[in-house]
Amino acid sequence: MSQSELDIEFEAAVKRVNDHQHPFPADFLLRLYAYYKKATNDYGRPSSKKQIINAFKTNALFQVKDITEDEAKRQYIDLVNRYFLYGK
């Protein structure tokens, strides 16, 4: 897959998530969060008002620290496709 194809698929997966009307499971959201932040090279601190949520987000980011931005995009796409195919 070329870089532009990967970027197009990634943006489509992000749009699919953003357009979804029902709540996602918390563990799914944390994985999406980590892959998205890594894929977009956004390393800002989590900004939830609840410290426990920030701790979970920080942990999720720590778990993806050793993958590349492109791998994070692929993982995000796979995670979204798997969720919408199997509902998990």
In the block, residue with structure tokens 């798997």: 82
Q: Return per-residue pLDDT of the chain as tens, 88 residues.
A: 788 999 999 999 999 999 999 999 999 999 999 999 999 988 777 777 888 988 999 899 999 999 999 999 999 999 999 999 886 5
Tell me the CATH class for 3-86.
mainly alpha
8 Å CB contact between 83 and 27: no
**Domain ranges (residues) in the chain:** 3-86
pLDDT at 31: 96
8 Å CB contact between 9 and 72: no
pLDDT at 6: 95
Burial of 72 (0-12, 13-18, 19+ CB in 10 A): buried
The pTM for the full model equals 0.89
